[in-house]
């Protein structure tokens, strides 16, 4: 097919980076995961390694895990997400600099045609979820990997939550690290053959999700990126096993999570007291009234974060933070989300939770990523179309500030044709492609990013006849 210059649309786009501060009355709750589904115990079953959950049921793993990771990636079942986004199998294997999340989508594996396999929305959903995992990968200075199962989606409205999510846990007496945390932090897979954690999303039509990660949801939409960030934080270990009476929700006594260790009473005492060692360990609350007196805190280093502890105990109690006691802070981990509302990063207290339970977190980066991107950027790429031997420029207007921008040019096969790093000193023109770099005639995508994507535009390079092959 030959495309002439006249068919190309004007290459002027406006991107809006806005945070909604309007709170709407309609809200919905996140999740009430049953801890017994996330507690696992290794057993021998018919002579092979297997696991049973906290209900005593033998866990069945999907047949997809019989394939190698490389085969799962090739089939599109598994996406490898690092700080740079979705990567290929080879580049992920050579990634020495940070964590990698291996996301296996059972909707895709089982070809459900729904959820993450939906012909219209599946790709967007996978992209937004990958971007949310990439946010965590970019702020965690740890070497390991985690195998996350994105279970088959469900489709309910009314009272069903946005999602269920958890890390799997072994259940020793005392405070247990989740398998996700230990695989990420120690780069050791303690439960080979089993995912380290899971998320199951609800795509009931009433949610009318916003899948745009750079603009706020409308007043009739919930924000999927916010939901994804919330669920992933649970998977990373923001989870309590504290039952209504201060005992453990696990099948065995005195089994709690590493998060539970840092709960504080309103009098700043440790809420749980651990006594003894080994099989003699006991973990008991100092005063059970704090579970339901709206005063529970989390020891977040410099500050004490308000733990959701309403007067009637429910599934969201203790493993969420409470915006109503936060003096204006917006937590990702508030137990409900309103339509039109968007939270795009952790609060400092939430980043401190990860730090407390053993991660090395870049707290400044984790809590400032989007502040810097609240700009209303106008981008124009010119000349476009162009010929083979000229420079290509990008005019950036709208308060870009000093930024290191990575410009990458892909051909239509998705191959990287060119890349360079450009430093900006405020608004103005940058040279995106240098004149001596000859790109063959054809269509290209030019992407500029500075942690977040800043622009994404088509570029057409014509041959000497003024057309594009
Ligand atoms: Zn939650």
Interval between CA 217 and ligand 1 midpoint (Å): 20
Interval between CA 459 and ligand 1 midpoint (Å): 43
Q: Which residues are bridge partners to 85 per DSSP? A: 82
Interval between CA 346 and ligand 1 midpoint (Å): 14
Interval between CA 391 and ligand 1 midpoint (Å): 50
- For residues 62 and 109, the answer to whether their CB atoms sit within 8 Å is yes
- Specify the domain boundaries for CATH 2.60.40.1930 within the chain: 3-17+375-468
Interval between CA 465 and ligand 1 midpoint (Å): 59
Interval between CA 320 and ligand 1 midpoint (Å): 6
Report CA 406 to chain centroid distance, whole Å. 22
- For residues 151 and 168, the answer to whether their CB atoms sit within 8 Å is no
Interval between CA 316 and ligand 1 midpoint (Å): 7
373: helix, coil or strand? Answer: helix
Q: Which residues of the chain have pLDDT under 70?
A: 1-26, 32, 92-97, 369-377, 398-399, 435, 451-453
Interval between CA 162 and ligand 1 midpoint (Å): 9
Interval between CA 323 and ligand 1 midpoint (Å): 13
Opening angle at CA 33, ends 278 and 30, nearest 5: 135
Highest CATH level, class, for 3-17+375-468: mainly beta
Interval between CA 164 and ligand 1 midpoint (Å): 8
Interval between CA 27 and ligand 1 midpoint (Å): 14
Interval between CA 163 and ligand 1 midpoint (Å): 8
Strand order in the sheet with 442-450: 386-387, 452-462, 442-450, 402-411, 416-425
Cα distance between residue 391 and residue 382, in whole Å: 9
Give the DSSP letter string of 392-426. EEEEEES---EEEEEEEEEETTS-EEEEEEEEEES
Interval between CA 45 and ligand 1 midpoint (Å): 33
Interval between CA 295 and ligand 1 midpoint (Å): 19
Interval between CA 161 and ligand 1 midpoint (Å): 9
Cα distance between residue 204 and residue 445, in whole Å: 34
Cα distance between residue 145 and residue 80, in whole Å: 10
Interval between CA 31 and ligand 1 midpoint (Å): 5
Determine the length of the chain. Answer: 469
Provide the pLDDT for residue 376: 60
The pocket of ion ligand 1, defined by CB under 5 A, consists of: 30-31
Rg (CA), the chain: 24
Alpha helix (H) residue ranges in 325-415: 348-356, 363-366
SS3 content of the chain, % helix, strand, coil (to 5): 20, 35, 45
Interval between CA 237 and ligand 1 midpoint (Å): 11
Provide the pLDDT for residue 453: 63
- For residues 272 and 264, the answer to whether their CB atoms sit within 8 Å is no
User: pTM for the whole thing?
Assistant: 0.75
Interval between CA 51 and ligand 1 midpoint (Å): 25
């Amino acid at each position: 097919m030959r495309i002439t210059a006249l068919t190309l649309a004007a290459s002027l786009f406006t991107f809006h980076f806005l945070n909604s501060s309007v709170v709407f009355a309609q809200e919905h709750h996140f999740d009430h995961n049953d801890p017994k589904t996330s507690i696992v115990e290794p057993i021998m079953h018919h002579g092979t390694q297997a696991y049973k959950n906290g209900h005593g049921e033998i866990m069945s793993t999907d047949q997809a895990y019989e394939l190698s990771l490389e085969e799962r990636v090739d089939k599109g079942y598994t996406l490898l997400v690092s700080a740079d986004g979705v990567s290929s199998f080879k580049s992920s294997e050579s990634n020495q600099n940070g964590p990698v999340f291996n996301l296996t989508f059972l909707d895709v594996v089982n070809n459900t045609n729904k959820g993450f396999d939906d012909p219209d929305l599946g790709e967007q959903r996978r992209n937004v979820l990958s971007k949310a995992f990439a946010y965590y990968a970019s702020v965690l200075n740890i070497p390991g990997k985690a195998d996350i199962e994105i279970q088959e989606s469900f489709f309910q409205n009314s009272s069903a939550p946005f999602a269920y999510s958890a890390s799997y846990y072994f259940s020793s007496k005392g405070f247990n690290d989740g398998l996700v945390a230990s695989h990420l932090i120690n780069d050791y897979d303690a439960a080979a053959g089993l995912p380290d954690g899971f998320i199951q999303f609800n795509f009931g039509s009433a949610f009318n999700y916003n899948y745009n990660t750079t603009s706020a949801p409308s007043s009739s939409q919930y924000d999927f990126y916010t939901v994804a960030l919330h669920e992933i934080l649970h998977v990373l270990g923001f989870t309590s096993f504290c039952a209504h009476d201060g005992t453990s929700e696990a099948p065995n006594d005195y089994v709690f999570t590493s998060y539970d260790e840092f709960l504080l009473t309103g009098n700043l005492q440790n809420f749980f007291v651990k006594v003894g060692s080994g099989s003699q360990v006991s973990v008991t609350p100092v005063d059970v009234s704090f579970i339901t007196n709206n005063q529970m805190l989390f020891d977040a280093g410099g500050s004490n974060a308000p733990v959701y502890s309403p007067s009637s105990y429910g599934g969201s109690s203790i493993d969420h933070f409470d915006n109503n006691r936060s003096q204006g802070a917006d937590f990702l981990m508030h137990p409900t989300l309103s339509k039109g509302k968007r939270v795009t990063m952790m609060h400092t207290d939430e980043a401190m939770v990860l730090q407390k339970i053993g991660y090395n977190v870049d707290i400044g980066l984790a809590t400032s990523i989007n502040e810097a991107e609240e700009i209303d950027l106008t981008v124009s790429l010119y000349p476009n179309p162009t010929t083979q031997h000229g420079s290509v420029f990008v005019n950036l207007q709208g308060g870009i500030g000093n930024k290191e921008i990575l410009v990458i040019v892909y051909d239509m096969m998705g191959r990287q044709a060119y890349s360079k790093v450009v430093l900006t000193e405020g608004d103005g023109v940058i040279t995106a492609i240098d004149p001596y770099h000859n790109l063959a005639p054809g269509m290209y995508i030019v992407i500029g990013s500075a942690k977040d994507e800043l622009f994404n535009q088509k570029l057409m390079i014509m041959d000497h006849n003024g057309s594009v092959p």
